[in-house]
Chains A and B, each alone.
Chain A
Amino acid sequence: MAQKPRQKAPGMSRELTSLYLENQSIPVVLEQFQAKPKFGTKAERWVWRAFKSSARDDGLALHHWAKANEEYTDYYYARFNAKTNPYQYTDEEYEKCIEPLDKGWSRTETDYLLHMCRQFDLRFIIIHDRYYSHTDCPNSGIESNRTLEDLKDRYYAIGRALTQYRAGEDSRDPEDVPLQTTNKLADDLALLRFDKDKELERKKYLEALFRRTKEEIEEEELLTAEARRIEANERRLVHEREVLLQSHAMFEEATGSAVGPPIKVQYAQTVDPSLASPATTPTAEATPKGRKGAAADGPGDPASARTIKRQKSTHGTPAPLRVRAGSVASRAQGSPGVKVRSPSVSDMVRKSASPSRSIAPSIKSEQGNLSPVFGDPTFGTEIHTVKPAVVEVETAEVGTIVVPQRDARLGPGVFLRSDKLHPIPKNKLDAVKQFMSQLALNSPNTIWPRPVMATPAVCDRFDSLQSIIIPLLDFKKTADKLETEVQVLRARKRMLVNDIGEDKAEEILNRLPPVSTSTAGARHQRKGSSASSRRKSRDSIS
């Protein structure tokens, strides 16, 4: 088409111009068949050409195909003709330094050995294999039955002797010889070290190892596996024992009457009101502040406290509670949500409870509003002495000294005392930090809570503080879970009662036999423990 070329808009690519301008024919590119493909370059000429290699000394001309325009100065592969250079010696050197080495080796044989080393590029296995069958083997002057180690030993001995001799030949005073040279000599000699006896011994062991039968190998493997298992078991046992002792020690500290840092935490010295009195709602629990609020809130519901006391005197288990829990459980047979949750709660209680004491403490308040301590009135003010875990170390001079356990784990080098504080589990780090900041313990270290002035006493206290905070947080978590569950159950109960009417519900509840499901068992345990601790708190009040 005879269109005149459109004017190209300035600053616009040709493709873009053609896009927005109309009446533009689309260019069609037709594939052109090419019978003969065209290559960009011209075909190179190859010729059948003779070549000679510098690696050969007979001038053999072999032929190969080569590019006509390329000229080689030497055969390409001649450069790979690498040769090893075993030691060579003059007659004088042989007499002076090699001959005295070993009387068992004649000059002929030594020459032959080095010849073989050259021929087989120091592959001693082949040298040994061909030592007596080689065509160059001299007829006489050769010791029979040379072993591989004999040959190696001789070769390296020659190497050592020659190196030493040649180094010693420049008759300079040892003082004048630059340090570099002597070092180099030592290095060279070290490279040439060969201990024949050791090598023979090694081979002997290797041979024995190789000749083991299948049964022996299996037995060995079995024994190794067994040993490994025993070791692992031992390690596990030790670890478990440590964990157990540690948690025990924590509880000793945390629940001991006088010992305990001034954290305003209320352990299960009171019956959880959410369980004890159905009237109290969790929101009501969270509101009180200060001692007064706590007094009204804690065991302050006299009715429920009385009920529990009565129950305790008969069986130690609060019957109404038991019935209620049982009824819920029995009614909730069809609902898996409840069924599954109940045992999990009991598991949790069991898990978090110390094995020595079955006290399941519950933390009543949220972190934001700490409820004051109900039990010991002097709790917050007393500066108590902390007894950290100690290790007894026996020394020669003084006998036994007592060291804090954290100092007993000594790493190499210099360390900070604060580094030795018990580490906080990573998953609890944030919670512990938050807790500490609420206690106005500002840590200089932003990652790990650390005391500002890490004196031993401060560290001890810090340690004990940590060892209280961590289980405290655990218990709080458990308590939160339990509370939620109780709320759910209670809501369920309310719904059920609304459905069937209050009278009928009462009737059903009375008719129900005492339930002993796992849920009830867990509750039982909990109630029992909280009842006993409550008694303690009552004692302290009176």
Chain B
Amino acid sequence: MPTYGGDEVNALVIDVGSTWTRAGFAGEDLPKAYFPSHVGYLESEVEVSETLDSPKENDNAATSSAAATSDQDVEMGDASADDAQKHEEATNGTSKKSKKKMRQFFVGDTESAVWRPGMEIGGPLERGLVKDWDIYEKIWEHAFKSQLRVNPEEHPVMVNEAAWNTSELRTKLIEMAFEKFQCPAFYVCKNPVLAAFGTGRHTGLVLDVGGDMASACAVYEGFCLTKTIQKQELGGELVSSQIMEKLKDDYQYEPTPLFDIKSKAPVDILQKPDVVRYNREGTTASYLQEMRLRAMLEFKETTCEVLERPFNADYANNKPLKPFEFPDGFNISLGAMRFAMPEILFNPNQFMVKRPQRLEGANLVGIHELAIKSAMSSDVDLRPQLLNSVVLAGGSSLFPGLVDRLSLTLQQSIASSRIKMYCPNSNTERKVTAWLGGSVLASLGTFHQLWISRAEYDEHGASIVDKKCQ
């Protein structure tokens, strides 16, 4: 047993990101479940009578969650509606008798992508923080029950959170783990720490370029330095939406998602797609947007690259062209554009085609600036150590050439220290770096003393999470 410092206790590790969720068993090298965090839901209104008193609420929640465990998505009408309602009451604390919204959820790749009339798409997080607890809970449920097929009551659960997570949200998280899912033990760890562990180091500067957020944070001996956190809403989804804007501007083209295509005919390059649409009634805007983003994701993943040196249109034009055909038959041969779009990550002000509403007036900087700011806000003694192990994580860091470019840009900005980048070699691992860190941590023999047990939760209440998970 004491050979590798590891000791398996069959813990579950779940990492709910803004675009993808990874879940699996601790000690394994890849998550068993990998599915989109965006879920579909149908809203309906239900007449609700009385609000229960707060002490009783707990019991009720427990029972309802027990009921909810029986089956998933489709049949969960009552239970989830009940939960949602209670949740809202808990937060608002208003209304005795009113019409309540009830939601039916569709989680998982096969469920959420299916077209249903009136189905909205939503994600659990906003700026890295949990915004919609219902969706968050459904994702957990889907991961444990449908994907891993385990009973969470039998397994310790390790979750990760954004470095800037608030105390209230953590409290809610631990409540959910112990009340709804009845975990025997629970631990929540910050993303950058896990990403650092995932690359095998306890100290480093973690640059996480995710779907929604880009953030940089210094990690020192397994602790996040809260004063060095730098974050902004500049992630892969923004790049995707900007590509869409660019196509609209340059080619007057808006992609038709796959679900809307009845039939199509091949067309010449840059010609209007010859497509017959279903034009289904009741397609929601969020669903349409989601499906378009998926088409963009494919576009982004197959064509986009980052130049290994600062962007230069002439140089980019000399690079080989790459053809791409959208689902509706529109095809295009890409030159400089496939290099210009990911450049948003480095120089958002110059390369962004059209600023989205929410980013109006926001001061956006390149991801390398984030890293530098973060490093410079740490103690001067620590800086060389941090810059010597820059850990790159997050799915949007997978653009080919991004690592070299980042290393070059950082070295140009900081001349007085050697910059060394650390990220797993395989793209598969890089998509799940933080999960991997959780998997490593939760299977360490020395870690098992850190779990928050049910006994501790019962004794100290939810505030224990701030004491034990620093």
Interface residues of A (CB under 8 A from B): 53, 55-56, 58-60, 62-66, 75-78, 80-81, 119-120, 123, 125-126, 128-130, 133, 135-136, 148, 203, 206-207, 209-214, 217
**What distance in Å separates the Cβ of B230 from its nearest Cβ neighbour in chain A?**
14
A210 touches B448 (CB 8 A): no
Chain B proximity of A126: nearest CB distance (Å): 5
Are A125 and B448 in touch, CB under 8 angstroms?
A: no
Contact of B9 with A206 in the complex, beta carbons under 8 Å: no
Do residues B380 and A125 form an inter-chain contact, with CB atoms below 8 A? no
Mark interface residues in B370-395 (1 if CB within 8 Å of A CB, else 0).
Answer: 00000000011111000000000000
25 A-B pairs (CB sep. < 8 Å): A55-B449, A56-B448, A58-B455, A59-B455, A60-B184, A62-B9, A62-B451, A63-B9, A66-B1, A75-B448, A77-B5, A77-B448, A119-B470, A123-B221, A125-B220, A129-B220, A129-B226, A129-B227, A136-B467, A148-B379, A203-B380, A203-B381, A206-B380, A210-B383, A214-B412
Task: Please report the C-alpha to C-alpha distance between residue A64 and residue B185 in the assembled complex, in whole angstroms.
Answer: 14
Number of interface residues of B (CB under 8 A): 40
Pick from B156, B185, B415, B448: contact of A212, CB under 8 Å: B415
Complex CA gap A224/B5 in Å reads 48
Residues of chain B with a CB closer than 8 A to A66's CB: 1
Residues 441-470 of B, flagged 1 when their CB comes within 8 A of A and 0 if not, give: 000011011010111100100010011001
Of A56, A65, A213, which is in contact with the most chain B CB atoms at under 10 Å from its CB?
Answer: A56
Contact assessment for B466 and A135 in the assembled complex, using a CB-CB cutoff below 8 Å: yes
B325 proximal to A (CB < 8 A) = no
Across the interface, which residues of B come within 8 angstroms of A126, CB to CB?
Answer: 220-221, 223, 225
Known contacts: A76-B2, A135-B463. The answer to whether A210 contacts B380 by CB under 8 A is yes
Q: Are A80 and B446 neighbours in the complex by a CB distance under 8 Å?
A: yes
- CB-nearest residue of chain B relative to A55? B449
Q: How far is the CB of B305 from chain A (nearest CB, A)?
A: 27
Partner of A130, one of B7, B415, B470: B470
> Nearest CB to that of B466 among chain A residues?
A135
A133 to B470, CA, bound (A): 11
CA distance A172 to B382 in the complex (A): 45
B453 touches A133 (CB 8 A): no
Q: Which of A56, A76, A119, A125 is close to B379, meaning CB atoms less than 8 Å apart?
A: A125
A93 CB to nearest chain B CB (Å): 28
Asked if B110 lies at the interface with its beta carbon under 8 angstroms from chain A, I say: no
Complex contact B448–A62 (CB within 8 A): yes
Q: Contact partner of A209 among B416, B454, B466, CB < 8 A?
A: B416
Contacts of B470 in A (CB 8 A): 119-120, 130
Taking CB atoms, residues of chain A closer than 8 Å to B382 are: 125
With contacts A76-B2, A126-B225 known, is A207 near B467, CB below 8 A? no
Q: Which residues of chain B are within 8 angstroms of A53 by Cβ–Cβ distance?
A: 448-449
Answer whether residue B8 sits at the interface, using C-beta atoms and an 8 A cutoff: yes
What is the distance, in angstroms, from A115's C-beta to the closest C-beta of chain B?
Answer: 12
* Contact between chains at B8 and A64 (CB < 8 Å): yes
- Please state if A60 and B453 are interface contacts (CB–CB under 8 Å): yes
Min distance, Cβ A206 to any Cβ of chain B, angstroms: 5
Check B185 against A62 for contact (C-beta < 8 Å): yes
Task: Return the chain B residue nearest A59 by Cβ.
Answer: B455
Residue in B9, B220, B380, B412 whose beta carbon sits within 8 Å of that of A123 in the complex: B220
- Is B44's beta carbon under 8 Å from chain A? no
Q: 3 shortest A-B CB distances, which residue pairs?
A: A77-B445, A60-B453, A55-B449
For chain B residues 225-279, which have a beta carbon within 8 Å of chain A?
225-227
By beta carbon, the residue of chain A nearest B465 is: A135
**A65 smallest CB distance to B (angstroms):** 7
Contact B463 A212 (CB under 8 A): no
In the bound complex, what is the Cα–Cα distance between A66 and B379 (angstroms)? 45
B448 touches A206 (CB 8 A): no
Flag if A217 contacts B415 (CB, 8 Å): yes
- CB-based nearest B residue for A130: B226
Q: Which residues of A contact B456 (CB under 8 A)?
A: 58, 60
Once the chains bind, are A60 and B1 in contact (CB under 8 Å)?
Answer: no
Task: Report chain B residues within 8 Å CB of A123.
Answer: 220-221, 223
B417 touches A (CB below 8 Å): yes
Query: Is the CB of B312 closer than 8 A to any CB of chain A?
Result: no
Residue pair B7, A77 in contact (C-beta under 8 Å): yes
Q: Which of A53, A210, A217 has the most CB of B within 10 A?
A: A210
Establish whether residues B381 and A206, one from each chain, have CB atoms under 8 Å apart when the complex forms: yes
Expressed in whole angstroms, the minimum distance between the Cβ of A118 and any Cβ of chain B is: 13
**Please, how many angstroms separate the alpha-carbon atoms of A126 and B221 in the complex?**
9
Tell me, rounded to whole Å, the shortest Cβ–Cβ distance linking B389 to chain A: 15
- B residues near A76, Cβ cutoff 8 Å: 1-2, 7, 445
A130 to B224 CA separation, bound complex (whole angstroms): 10
Chain A residues, CB < 8 A from B63: none
Bound complex: CA of A133 vs CA of B228, how far in Å? 13
Q: How far is the CA of A80 from the CA of B5 in the complex (A)?
A: 11
Contacts of A209 in B (CB 8 A): 416
Could you mark each residue 1-22 of chain B with 1 if its beta carbon is under 8 Å from any beta carbon of chain A, else 0? 1100101111000000000000
Contact of A207 with B380 in the complex, beta carbons under 8 Å: yes
A100 and B8 CA atoms in complex are apart in Å by 52
CB-nearest residue of chain A to B9: A62
Question: Could you tell me if B8 and A65 are in contact, using CB atoms closer than 8 angstroms?
Answer: yes
Q: Tell me the bound Cα distance from A129 to B378 in angstroms.
A: 9
Min Cβ gap A73→B in Å is 14
**Which B residues are in CB contact (< 8 Å) with A56?**
448-449, 453
Rounded to whole angstroms, the CA-CA distance of A396 and B379 in the bound complex is: 55
User: Shortest beta-carbon distance, A150 to chain B, in Å?
Assistant: 13
B220, A133: Cβ atoms closer than 8 Å: no
Task: Give Cα A125–Cα B218 distance, bound, in whole angstroms.
Answer: 11
Which of chain A's residues have a CB closer than 8 A to the CB of B5?
A: 77
Are B446's CB and A77's CB within 8 A?
Answer: yes
B417 surroundings in chain A (CB, below 8 A): 210
A43 shortest CB reach to chain B, Å: 17
A80 to chain B: which residues have CB within 8 Å?
445-446
Residue among A63, A75, A148, A212 making CB contact with B416, cutoff 8 Å: A212
Residues of A within 8 A of B220 (CB): 123, 125-126, 129
Q: Which among B185, B379, B417, B467 has the greatest number of chain A C-beta atoms within 10 A? A: B379
**In the complex, what residues of A have CB within 8 A of residue B167's CB?**
135
Residues of B with C-beta under 8 A to A119 = 470
Residues of A within 8 A of B2 (CB): 76-77
By beta carbon, the residue of chain A nearest B223 is A126
